Structure 1
Amino acid sequence: MDKEKTVNVEICAACLRDNDTAEAKHWCCDCAEALCDDCGKVHRKSRFTTSHKLIRLREVKNSKSFLMATSFLCDLHSDLRVTFYCNRHDQLICQTCLLQTHKDCKYITAIEQLMPQRPRSSSIDHFDVLQKQALKLADSLNQLIDTRKENLAKLDEQNKTIQATIKKTKSEIIDHLTKLEEELLHSLSVKYDSCVEQIDDEISELQRNRELMSIHDSDIELMRKNGSEPYKFTIVKKFEQTKPKTEDIIGNFRDKYKPLVIDFTQNEEQLASLYNALGWVDIKVINRVPSNVSAITTPPRPISKQWESPTESNKVVTRPLSTRSVSNFKESEMSLKKLVPQTPSITQLVLYKKFPTSSSLGENITVSRGCFISGKHILLCDAQNRCIFKCNLYGSMADKIPLLYFPHDVALFDKNTAVVAAGERGIQVFDIIDGECRPDRFLRPGGKCTAISCIDDQIIVRSGHCKISILDRAGISIFKINTKYDPLILSAGINGSIYWTSNNGDEVQCIARERSQFICRSETLVGPTGLATDGTGHVFVAGYESGNIHQLSNRGTKSIVLDEGIHHPWGLAFDQDSQRLMIINDDGISIDIYTVCK
C-alpha cells in the first residue's frame, strides 16, 4: 500500500511559504492546502484559482478525513502533481509518468478536461454511488466490530464460567477426597479394632493359663513341705494329668501365632489419572463468520472425504477440519535421539508393487488399515463391510474372511498370530497356520477398540475415549495411559515408545518408556492418518490432506520422503524382514508397496 501523504491543516499553507503562521480556516480540494481567511479571498479572486472550491474546515469532521489524506502529488514523483488519468491502467499520473511509463497508452485524458465532459447529474449520481458504498463499508465494519465485541463478551462469560467450573471441580474433588479419607479412616479403625480385639483375647487366654500355672506352682510347693506321702502322690498324679493339656494350649498358641499387619495399598493408577490434570483450557478457532456480517470472507478449507471405517452402527465418520489449539498442557518438541541409538537416516522409497482394490479384492472395496503377515502376504481391513482380506503383495490369491463386526485396525503380534481391533467387541485374535488366517478367541480390555499395534509380546490398543491400554498376549492389562486427546491411530516403536495421532490437530505425539510425552509437528504435515515404525527408531507418517509421507528419524530430524503419487493416504504398515512400507493410498482404493532404501 502506498504511504499516505498528510498536510498540516492548522496553519495556512500560503502564509507558511512567506514564513508567517496564520490559522487556517478553509481547505482547497484542488490544491490540497489549508488557507486562512485572507488567503482564501485572494484564492477566489485569482484567475488561476477562481474555479477552485473552498471548504470551511469546521465542516470537515476531523483531520483524518479522506479529503485531508488525499494528496494530488504523484506517487512516483513526489514533487509533481497528478494532471492526467490513464484509462488503460486506471491510474492518476503526472507529466513525467506520461512521458516515461505511459507513453504507449492511448486513452489518456487531462483531469481538467475529464470531469467537465460529464453532465452534472452524472457526476452527482457517481458521488451518490460512492457515498452509498462508503456507508455500506462502514456498516460492514461496524458489524465486524460488533461481532468482536460480542466475542469479547462471550469470552468474558466463558472465562467466568470456566473459573467457576474449575473451583467447583476442585471443591468436588476435595469433598470426594474427604469422603474417601473418612471411609478409609473408618475402614482402618474397624480393621485396627478387630486386630486389637483378637490379640487381647489371646493375651487374656494366655494370662488365665499363666495364673493357673502360678497357682499350681504354689500348691506343689506347699504340698511338698507339708503334705503326707499319699496326698503328695495324689497331687503329683493330678498335675501330670493336667500338664499335657496346658502344654497343648501353649503349643497351639505358639504354632498358630502369626503377627497381624495392617496394610494400605494406594490406587496409583487412579491417582495418576487424577493428578494428570483437572482439565484442559484450549483456544479454538472457529472457521465461520456469522451470517449477519456482509463483508467478503475467504471460504474455509473443504472437509476431506470420508475416511474412517464404519462404527458398529454402520455410521461412517468423517475427519473434521484440523483445529489449531494452544493449551496449558505441558508439551515439548520430540527429541527422538534421546529414545533410541543413532542409526543412518532413510533416504529413499522405491515403488515395488501397486494394485487397485477394485480389480484385486472386488468392486467398491475400500481399505482402511492393513499389516504385513509375512514377507509375501498382507491383511487388509474392509472399511465398508464386515470382513478382512488376505492376499499376496500383488493383490492376487485374495481370501475374504467374514467377520461379525467392522474391523477398525489390524496388527501382527508374532509370525503365527495377528490381532484385529473389533470395536465394542474388543480384540479378536487370528491364528496364522500354513498361510491361512483363522479367527479365534476375543480379548476384552474394556472400552471400544479402534486402533492397535504390537511390540515385544505386548498389545497396544486404543481402549476407550482418551485411553491407551498395554496388554500381554492373554489380554491382561499391564498398564493404562490417559491421553489429552482421543487417539486415532497407534504405532508401537522400539524401547517401549508409543506414537499416536488424533483428530485434534496435525501433530504426532509420543509417549516414551518413562511415560514422558513428546510432540512433533511440521508445517508440511496436514491430517496425519497413518503411522508405521521400523526396527531402528524411524517413524513414517502419512499426511492425508498434505498428500505426502513424512519420516521422523531417530536423530530428531523431520523430512518428506515421498510426495509424488501420494493422494489422500489412509494407513501405513512396515515389514521389518523385507524392509517394505505399505501405503493405503487414494482414499483406500489403491495399495502401494515401497522398498525402503538406506
Structure 2
Amino acid sequence: MSSSSLFTDSERDLLLVCPLCEEGLKRPSTLPCSHIFCESCIKSYFTGFSQNRKLPDIEVLCPVCREPIPQFKDTNSTVSLFQKSQGYSSFVLQDLSRRNSKLATDLPSSRSARNTLQIPNATLQLSPRPVTSRTFMDKTFQVRFCEPCQGKGEALKAASHWCVNCQEGLCAFCIDQHRSMKLLKNHDIVDIFSLKPEHVYDEEGTGACSLHTEKDLNLFCVDHACLVCVTCVALDHRKCGNLKDVEEVDIEKDLGINIDKLVDEVEECIQYADSVIQFKDENRKKLVKEKRQINARVNAKVRHFKAVLDSMESKAAQQIERVHEGEMDLLDEQIARYRKMVRAMAHRKEKLEASLKRNIKGQILYHAPITEELKRYTQAEFISDTTANKQTSYSYVFTSEFEENALDGKEIGHLTANENKIKLANPPKHKKSANIAERLFNFNGSIASDSKVCNFTGAVYMGKGNIVLADNENGNLKLFDEEGKFRHNLSCGDVKYDAPWDITSTDDDHIAVTFPHRKKVRIYRIRESIAPVRYFETYGACRGIAFHKDIFIVTCSEMGKSKAAIKFIDKRGKILKILHGDKTGMNQLRSPYYISSRPDENGRFFVTDIRQNMLLVVNSDQTMELVLQDKVNLKGVSGVEVDGNNNVYVCSNGASVVLRLTENFTKRQVIIDDVKYPVKLCFNPRLKNIFFITNQSIEACDTILLYSMS
C-alpha cells in the first residue's frame, strides 16, 4: 500500500461492505451513529418496524452497534430519518469524492473502481477481503423478520421476538397467536434484542451457505477442509489452490479419512465405553451389597453393648455412608461421562451412516471430519482415564481395643475404599504412525539440592554444546554438557517470586531468562558456571523470549492490569513496540506462551497462545498474523521451534504430541507421540537434526529426552 493512501486494506473493506447483506454497498445511506448500509437494506429494516402497529413507540436500534436511532416513532418519522441519513451519506460520499484522487490509488486500477466514488448512487466496488474466521457481523445480531407474516405474503415486518423451539422470528401480532396455540404456548420465546448465540441453531448438512443463504455449498476447499459456496470462494478463499466440486472430492485422498475405517473405529469406541459402563454398574451394585454386609457386621458386633453403643453405631454408619456416597458420586460421574461419550459418538455415527446410505457426498464431507475429531478426542479421553479398569471394594477394620473403647464411647473402627485393577479389554487407541524422530538417550535433570519435583519450562543449547535448563519449580538455572552430565547450579532467589521461565541465548557466552512474577528479564554469563550480569524491566508477566538483531522479542501474559502482548525491547531495556493482536484486529492475544528461539528463512518468529490453542507468526516488519488454530492437535499448545530446514515444530501439551508443520503450514505431521505433556523443545545449532524435549508428566517430569530427526 502506498504511503499516500487514506485507509488500510482491512479498513477500506469494512467501509465498503453493507453489514446487513454483506455485499458491496448499493446507494449507501448512513445512520446518525455513522454506520453505512445499502438504501434498500436499511429501508426494509425501518419499514419492518413501522408496519408493526402494535408497537408504535418501539425503540429501533442500529443493527451493528445497537445504538438507539432517535426520533423513530412511526412511518413518517422513518421517512424523515431516512432522508436525514441519506443526506448525511451524500455528504460523506461527496467528501470522499473530493479526496478520490488519493483514495483511488488504493483501490483496484479499473476505471469502474475509480468512478465509484465520483457517483454517490453507484454500487461501491470491493477489493478482495482477507481470509478471516469470522464474518463482518455476528450472525446473532443480523436483522430478523417475522417469518409467519412472510409466509402469508405480507410486507416484511421486523421481528420483536425469537422462538427458540421453532427457530423463527415473530412480530408483536404473531407472538400472541403463537402463545394462544396449545402446542406452542410452552415454547421458549426471547426478546429479539436479548438474543444470544445459543438461541440460534446452526443447521447441519450441505444445503445453503450459512453466510450467503442464497448460495449452495457445492464446492470444497481442501486447504481449509470446509464446504464453501461460490461467494465464499470469491471473498475468503481466492488464494486457496485446491478447490474442488463436492462430487470430485476424494475423501480418503484429500481429507486423509477412510470412512469405513472411521465407522468401525467409532463403533469400537462405543463398544469399549459400553463395557466400561457395564463394569462400573456392576461395581456399583457390588459396593451396595458389601455396604449392607458391613453394616450387618457392625450391628452384630455392637448388639452386646447396645445401651452404650447406640450413638457409636450411628457414628459408624454415618462414616460408612460418607465414604459410600463419595464412591457412589465418583462412579456416577464416571458412568455419566462415558454415557455422554456414547451418545455423542452414536449420534455422529448415525449421521455419517445416514449420509453414506443416501450417498450425499456433501453431507459425508461435512460429517466425516467432525466424526474423526470426536473419535480422536474420545480416544484421548480413554488413554488419559486411569480409573477405567479400577474396581473399588470396601473393608472395615475394628480397633483392637474395641470393647475397651466401646465403654469409653470411642471409635470402634473405620471404613476404607480399596481399588483393585481388573483386566478389561484394552481401550481403542488412535492408530499411531511410527515416530519420525528417533530417541537417542535421556538424562535426569534433578540434583541433590532440589527441594521439589523439577518442572523444566525453559531450555537452550549454547554454542559449545552445553545445555542450560530453567527449573521453574525449584527456582534454579542448571548447566549440563551435551551428554547430560551436571556442571553447575545457580539459585535465582526466592522460589516463589524468582522462578525462571524461558531462556534464549544472546551469544555463545550469555543467556537471557524471563521471570514472570518479577516482570523482568535477567542476563547471565555461561562459562564453567552461571553468573548474573544485569536485568531490565518488561512491565508485564514475561514468558517466552527470543533474541534477533540486537532486539529481544518477549511474550507477556495477562497479570493484574497488564494485558497480554508481544513486546520488542532493545538491549538497553527500552520498549520499541507492543503487539496485542494480529493486523486484522480479529485475533487478540489472551495468553501468549512461547516464541521460537530463531526465525525462519523469511525472518519470521512463531508464537503460541495456550488458552486459544493458536499458533501465530511475527513477521520481519513486526506485524503478527494467525497461522493455525486447532482445538484437537494444538490443545494446550506450548513450545515452538524452527529447525535448520525451516520446518516448524510445535509441542501440544494437551494432546501429548509434537507436530511438524511443512508446506506453508498446510501439512501437519505427528513426529512424536510417546511423550506425555511435552512443554519445550530445543534444537542443537551445531547438529541441526538433534533436539531435546522437556515434559510435565508426573512420572518423568525431571527427565530430558534427546531425539534425532530421521
* Greater RCO (Cα-Cα under 8 Å, separation 6 or more): 1
TM-score range, shorter chain: 0.3 to 0.5
| TM-score, normalised relative to structure 1 | 0.41
